[in-house]
Chains A and B, each alone.
Chain A
């Protein structure tokens, strides 16, 4: 038990500098812009007074250090600035859009696990047979598929030709939401499934050759039980770990998926803000995305440690 808590503690301590670094990076990203964001915002022919006003509102007057101090103290009070375009706090915008993206990422992560794990195990069981070769084609073809293109194909097949899912939008009831999320989540998941299958097939083969599998069979356990209890559990660990490693990519692809399927999540908020040159919103959303990645990484580390005691003791 104490090992577990020590592990949680060290991982938390590792996450703190990363969160701080991410905050600094986001700040620098928008405050070290070559050129003048205020000028870009009000246009070339605006009066110097107008530019100065916008600079003040952006918090771009004063030295870089004092700007950073302001930025940090606002952040600690939970204030990420006021949107230029909507005139409301960026926090309220982010909070209202967060549930869609969070649900999308969660469902996509679930799809990743439930699609990859069986395929990897089947490929490993059927090594060098036809099924194995068929499954090994997926990573090859899937690697170069742009998420938006897969999304369009899905819409074409499952929404236009076969009216199973809505073409886009979010719906009203919870069942609407779930139906609306299935195609987008599958699209986002397909971005990293090829990578997961490739690594996990190798991982599952290693598990098959492990001594404890031979022991389990020697004990007289049925093959199904060996597969389910021993192989699956041990293959699940690298799946979750590798998924955690790539969660940033998955979260990032929601930006594209939300655009394709017309979902009002954080990703579409980011794209709207980019279109409106709404600096505070771009800054806030970028920060939320990066912090979310750090937190999810922390979460997956803790889950893998729970599945595999050896990790905790390292």
Chain B
């Protein structure tokens, strides 16, 4: 939950929902976007296909082959319990990526809807919501998430609830400021004057013009959530062993840093690649959405 510089675009992005199809088509025309999508797609495929690709179970121990270097049998070597690191990295991706992609859905939907509501209607509800946003943003993200997971209990459920409670604020802020701009545009006033209901103006005019900003942010947000998940795992508060997770793998490998540095460095690579892929997607999308 890092905050980008607030720059609501003054230009209408799309006049009607129908333009969205052309935005999608243009996105696929952007080399940056497609490159990013390929990276994310490849890693996601590897994670999804983990049971097919890997030759060992993620928790299959082998006391005769512990702390081995890379070999034909074990591509990335084995850990202190003789578990195959390549298999564990793949299986960890299933858990971590699933949480990363799934946990942002509630904040995205809730934060966006709340943002267009408070931005469009204003008033006391808006003031109250934005004070609440200020308060939640004042808590350092990791401190709040750690405190919440402490209360709710470690594990996937705790992570989901902690992200749901904290992460919507950024969407609300971004979407609200964009709504404030769009609301004042002539054709929105015209739509209202033409007799359209508030609900219809919100759905057909405000939402299509604000949601692209949320979509761009969600790309970075998935990375932030993924970082939160692996960080909690590293601190022992996230996904509990023996379920593999990139964060806890790095933490376990740290004891063998001087002798087997692969153990704690390798699990970081897919995280960085996902971050790279999603940044490229976000950049490509931003270019496409920028008014010519």
Contact = CB atoms under 8 A, between A and B. Distances in A.
A72 interface: no
B140 A144 contact: no
Given A21-B134, A195-B2, 4 more contacts: A145-B272, A255-B140, A259-B234, A289-B140
Contacts of B235: 256, 259, 271
Interface of B: 1-5, 131-132, 134-144, 146-148, 150-152, 220, 223, 226-227, 230-231, 234-235, 237, 247, 250-251, 254, 257-258, 261, 264-265, 268, 271-276, 278-280, 283
B3 to A, nearest CB: 5
Given A249-B140, A290-B139, A152 B231 contact: no
A256 B234 contact: yes
Interface string A137-173: 0011111111111001101100010000000000000
A140 B276 contact: yes
Contact of B147 (A24, A199, A286): A286
Contact of B275 (A143, A147, A192, A286): A143
A29 B147 contact: yes
A297 B134 CA distance: 11
B268 A146 contact: yes
A248 interface: yes
Contacts of B247: 146, 148
A248 B155 CA distance: 24
Contact of A148 (B136, B138, B231): B231
Interface stretch (A54-62, A82-90, A91-99, A238-246): A238-246
27 contacts: A17-B131, A18-B134, A18-B135, A25-B139, A141-B272, A141-B275, A141-B276, A143-B279, A144-B273, A144-B275, A148-B247, A149-B265, A149-B271, A191-B2, A192-B2, A195-B4, A248-B140, A248-B141, A249-B3, A252-B142, A255-B142, A255-B143, A256-B231, A259-B234, A270-B146, A270-B147, A290-B140
B275 A145 contact: yes
User: Interface SS of chain B: helix, strand, loop or mixed?
Assistant: helix
A248 B265 CA distance: 27
Contact of A249 (B141, B271, B273): B141
Most buried by B among A145, A149, A245, A285: A149
A294 interface: yes
Contact of A144 (B2, B5, B276, B283): B276
A253 interface: yes
Contact of B265 (A22, A30, A153, A289): A153
A251 to B, nearest CB: 5
B268 A149 contact: yes
B139 A22 contact: yes
Contacts of A285: 143
A12 interface: no
A152 B250 CA distance: 9
A225 B133 CA distance: 42
B76 to A, nearest CB: 16
A297 B5 CA distance: 15
B4 A199 contact: yes
A210 interface: no
Interface string A184-200: 00000001100100010
A282 interface: yes
Nearest to A25: B135
B5 to A, nearest CB: 5
A50 interface: no
A252 B148 contact: no
A120 interface: no
A282 B275 contact: no
A156 B250 CA distance: 13
A274 interface: yes
A144 B271 contact: yes
A306 B269 CA distance: 42
B138 A294 contact: yes
A249 B139 contact: no
A44 interface: no
A148 B234 contact: yes
